Structure 1
Amino acid sequence: MVERAVPRAPCGAFGLLDLDAPVAANWPEFAAAGKASVLVRHLLSHPTGRGSPGCAKRTRWSSSTTEQAAIFSQLAPVPLAALTNPVAGAREANTAAWRAAEIPAANGHGTARAIAALYGIVAGRGSYGTHRVLSPEAAERVREGQGACRDLVLGTGFKGETEIGLGLWLSGSHRSYGPNPRAVGHDGFGGSCGLADPEAGVSLGYVMNRMGPHIADDPRKTALVDALCSALRGRSGTV
């Protein structure tokens, strides 16, 4: 979820991580197998796994899905460590082994209140309550769209093309995170969700005690998003 976006935003804002630098500038071995042109920002937005001709901002590196799998297998030691992680089934996701594993962008854990608070940093344009966590510029960078495409990483979970910012999906025309196309969010394993709408000044976190089969847009999450937007419309008449 947002754990892969928010921690990296200040790194880019403070000059600690150049999002437009090649990954190989920090990890020389990554350049193998034709990946020298892959940028750090691409790792936050799935374009290295997108091969759709309709992609608005395609990375200069392109490959088939099978080539990506072969390339992934070469990226030691991180993938080698990942291969020792437990399999990603619903039952395994509730085990201590899964929680202890290193699965980037896949096994972050938190309560609904904690997820809403984390997304609240984006909704608050870098502030949460009285605390300034990110600069407004860093918070806004999370919403920098990287081009609408058919997502080849999680494509089966979506009805059509989607667009990812720097780590989070834009609501876009699918309205997955409300009617504001600039709202952002991320769905989690089993149906969980977090979203932020800076224009409405609202964030939401949802977790469940029963795992669902949906990769994205679980009906329970969709019902909550619709209820939130309905409440906001009743309050202001603008959402």
Structure 2
Amino acid sequence: MGVSPSGLGALLGEFEQNFRARGELGASVSVWWRGKEVLGDGRGWCEKEQHRAWTTRTLVPVYSATKVPSTAALMLALDEAGMSCETQVGEVWPGFPLPHASFAEMLSHQCGLAALDQPASLWDHEEVVAALEAQVPAWKPGEGHGYHPRTFGAMLEEPMRRLTGKTLGAFWNDRFARPLDLEFWIGLPESAQPRVARLYPGKASPNDFEEGFYKEFNRAGSVTQRAFGSPRGLRSVQEMNDPKAWGAGFPAMGGVGTASALAKFYQVLLGNIPGPLSASVRRAMMTRLVDGDDRVLVKPTAFAVGCQLDPLDSAGRKIRSLYGPSLDGFGHPGAGGSHAFGDPESGISFGYVMNQMELSVMPGRRSTVLVDALYG
């Protein structure tokens, strides 16, 4: 199974419908197959005032869709140091609260460090590391998993600095973005700032706050609320529109780029475009490690090393299909709707970015209709 002309046509039809009927402002979509882009479209506006037309080269922050590129960077650094995802974190970072946990366990959200008790600012890496090292894990590997929306960044950044002496963003830009010609930065250069679209927050309806995740998100002291609030800083969409945020290079949520660059990156993970990652690293990033109830997102999730997959029911069937029909599709969404994934079965990769956000930590309807149309 590969890409069909009818699937691409149906996807474009739904993309156009997003603008006509689903509140899209500016957006891009990209599909790659066998190492080549077979569909790339971008339209709309970079801001509501319609000063700049949106094109396929428009850049936009993608929040947690950054996590997979960031993980790939750390995995390459580990590989080049003669280590792997099975290496104990304590070998690189002795102060990590669970030093005997493997990098695979840490990067699949099994270490119970999603929320910090000690106050720390996202803008102060050393402060966040100190808070992490002082944190008593809420659970340990083998006791379940829960998404680490914000602390995940320092859990990537600190080992990277110890291994290479570089920030993760600098390593990504040097080893992936530039040599692979990916217009996706973790630490945006000032020269690219004029190409960044303005983000607009999604609007909540009363029903949204009755749903499991948002009910917990708004419950004082819940692990969900604490996980999305620590370390503190950069919580509003307005703050994410600040060039300071684009240039900071936060590994969990600070990536800025195009849909095409994200989809092309997943071709590298699939092995359809030559890149710096070994076959064993690429395999680890798409191999399901945990699957079940997520203590933070309050719904079933599944994770590999740094990547999300669709969870399965007891019969091995998908509970949802955010990553296409294949059981092995893997990727990561970003808050508000950005979405990217690779499909090992078909060889397809997909990227979607936008600036009118939806109220969702999972891909919203404007991206899922595109994926459904692509696969027919």
The residue that corresponds to 2:237 in the other structure is 90
The residue that corresponds to 1:140 in the other structure is 283
The residue that corresponds to 2:105 in the other structure is 42
- 2:272 pairs with 121, 127, 137, which one? 127
Task: Find the aligned partners of 2:259 and 2:84 in 1 and give their Cα distance.
Answer: 31
Identify unmatched segments of 5+ residues in structure 1: 50-62, 231-239
The residue that corresponds to 1:237 in the other structure is none
- 3-state SS of 1:107 partner: coil
- 2:303 pairs with 141, 153, 164, which one? 164
Task: Find the aligned partners of 1:209 and 1:37 in 2 and give their Cα distance.
Answer: 41
Shift in CA distance, 14/102, structure 1 to aligned 2, threshold 3 Å: closer
Q: Deviations over 1:78-100 (max 9, x none)?
A: 51698897422222222212212
Amino acid of the residue matched to residue 148 of structure 1? D
- 3-state SS of 1:5 partner: helix
Amino acid of the residue matched to residue 191 of structure 1? G
The residue that corresponds to 2:172 in the other structure is none
Deviation at 1:37, TM superposition (A): 2.9
Identical-residue share of aligned pairs (%): 29
Q: Is 1:150 the counterpart of 2:304 in the alignment? A: no
Task: Find the aligned partners of 2:350 and 2:360 in 1 and give their Cα distance.
Answer: 19
Please provide the CA RMSD for this pair: 2.8
Judge conservation of contact 2:323–2:329 (CA < 8 Å) in 1: yes
Q: Deviations over 1:95-138 (max 9, x none)?
A: 21221234222111110111111111123xx231xx34433332
Judge conservation of contact 1:9–1:139 (CA < 8 Å) in 2: no
Q: Deviations over 1:29-75 (max 9, x none)?
A: 224xxx233322223111113xxxxxxxxxxxxx8x7xx522786x9
Task: Find the aligned partners of 1:40 and 1:113 in 2 and give their Cα distance.
Answer: 29
Judge conservation of contact 2:116–2:231 (CA < 8 Å) in 1: no
The residue that corresponds to 1:22 in the other structure is 88
Question: So what's the TM-score if we normalise by structure 1?
Answer: 0.73
Deviation at 1:177, TM superposition (A): 0.7
- 3-state SS of 2:336 partner: helix
- 3-state SS of 2:351 partner: strand
Task: Find the aligned partners of 2:276 and 2:267 in 1 and give their Cα distance.
Answer: 10
Task: Find the aligned partners of 2:269 and 2:125 in 1 and give their Cα distance.
Answer: 33
Amino acid of the residue matched to residue 73 of structure 2? P
Question: So what's the TM-score if we normalise by structure 2?
Answer: 0.48
- 2:254 pairs with 99, 102, 107, which one? 107
Deviation at 1:186, TM superposition (A): 0.3
Amino acid of the residue matched to residue 310 of structure 2? S
The residue that corresponds to 2:365 in the other structure is 219
Deviation at 1:15, TM superposition (A): 5.0
Identify unmatched segments of 5+ residues in structure 2: 1-64, 131-153, 155-229, 312-317
Task: Find the aligned partners of 2:94 and 2:309 in 1 and give their Cα distance.
Answer: 31
Amino acid of the residue matched to residue 106 of structure 2? L
Shift in CA distance, 108/43, structure 1 to aligned 2, threshold 3 Å: farther
Which structure is richer in relative contact order (CA contacts within 8 A, separation 6 or more)? Answer: 2
Amino acid of the residue matched to residue 165 of structure 1? A
Task: Find the aligned partners of 2:125 and 2:76 in 1 and give their Cα distance.
Answer: 27
Task: Find the aligned partners of 1:72 and 1:100 in 2 and give their Cα distance.
Answer: 24
- Give the greater-gyration-radius structure (CA): 2
Where do residues 200-239 of structure 1 align in structure 2 (5 Å cutoff)?
Answer: 200-230=346-376
The residue that corresponds to 1:199 in the other structure is 345
Judge conservation of contact 1:13–1:137 (CA < 8 Å) in 2: no
